[in-house]
Amino acid sequence: MSSSEVEESGGGLVERAKADRAAKRNWFSRIVLFIQQVIAELKKVVTPTRKELINFTIVVIAFVLIMMALVWALDQVFGFVTIFIFGTPLQ
């Protein structure tokens, strides 16, 4: 999508928001303007393809597994150091 398309879709709302600030509209008009701006931004969202979604999911799962392994390893090391310093654990 080119930058001119983005400017055209949301450009009118931005100008309207600036004019509203100057005009000091009532709270209902500001809420309506906010909802219009939210809808304009949501129209710019691009949903990922199935292949991208699968790749992103695999990356997230791999990252979580790596972080779990790191936390487990640090827990084991700190546990060993604690037992080494303070003696055997209480049973």
Tell me 89's DSSP state.
Answer: P
* Residue 8 pLDDT greater than 50, yes or no: yes
Pairwise CA distance, residues 16 & 21, whole Å? 9
Domain ranges of the chain: 1-46, 47-91
pTM exceeds 0.75: no
Q: Residue 65: pLDDT above 90? A: yes
73: pLDDT strictly greater than 70: yes
Q: Where are the alpha helices (DSSP H) in the chain?
A: 3-23, 27-42, 50-86
The string of pLDDT tens digits covering residues 10-62 is 667 777 777 766 666 688 888 888 999 999 999 999 999 999 999 999 999 99
